[in-house]
Structure 1
């Protein structure tokens, strides 16, 4: 069920047809699919992709941030290692962000996810009708 939108998302293709590209630029979605006409305004990934990418990248790189200060090396070497580590981390995040955004977008379209619509606030804290203490 989820295999198709995930594969199409990793290829940055439309969830419906798998042919049209999702993005018109780095992280900007097209208005619609150039192949099948799927409206891309029906879904919004918001901050989800950035959260997941940031979380994954920090899990991968956190050990280095604890180990590197304990390494006994000249200051110049440590500075070079920090620069390499930071640039690799940012590069990986920038590489993964469009992929995660495309996958989450395709999953939203496939599952017809939409913003919650509250029809009533419910009756939390109130006893049911006819209930006697």
Structure 2
């Protein structure tokens, strides 16, 4: 079942997200805060995006961590939520890269993982995450 749904989710998601700079769906309505959501699981992205938007956030969800990092300055997020376990890059690599680039700026970085072991949480905070979910 997952094998059949994954291409459909990806197609729907690519259509919904499109180019970050010209995002038509879910366009900003005003001065709501922006969240950059990075995870390679399309169903998780769609669920969290919907929940955050219902709470008044403008959400840019990107499944490819490399594309997400490249889009960071176009998006100018108020907060970044990063999944730790991704296939092309780990969330720790993304966190490290963003922290190095943002030495003068404060943008909260929240790590998300199903792995809630103490070691994983501690590593997240040691690497500069502001919170762990």
TM-score normalised by the chain length of structure 2:
0.22
**Larger-gyration structure (1/2):** 1
Higher relative CO (Cα under 8 Å, sequence separation at least 6) belongs to: 1
TM-score normalised by the chain length of structure 1:
0.22
Greater helix percent: which structure?
1
Greater strand percent: which structure?
2
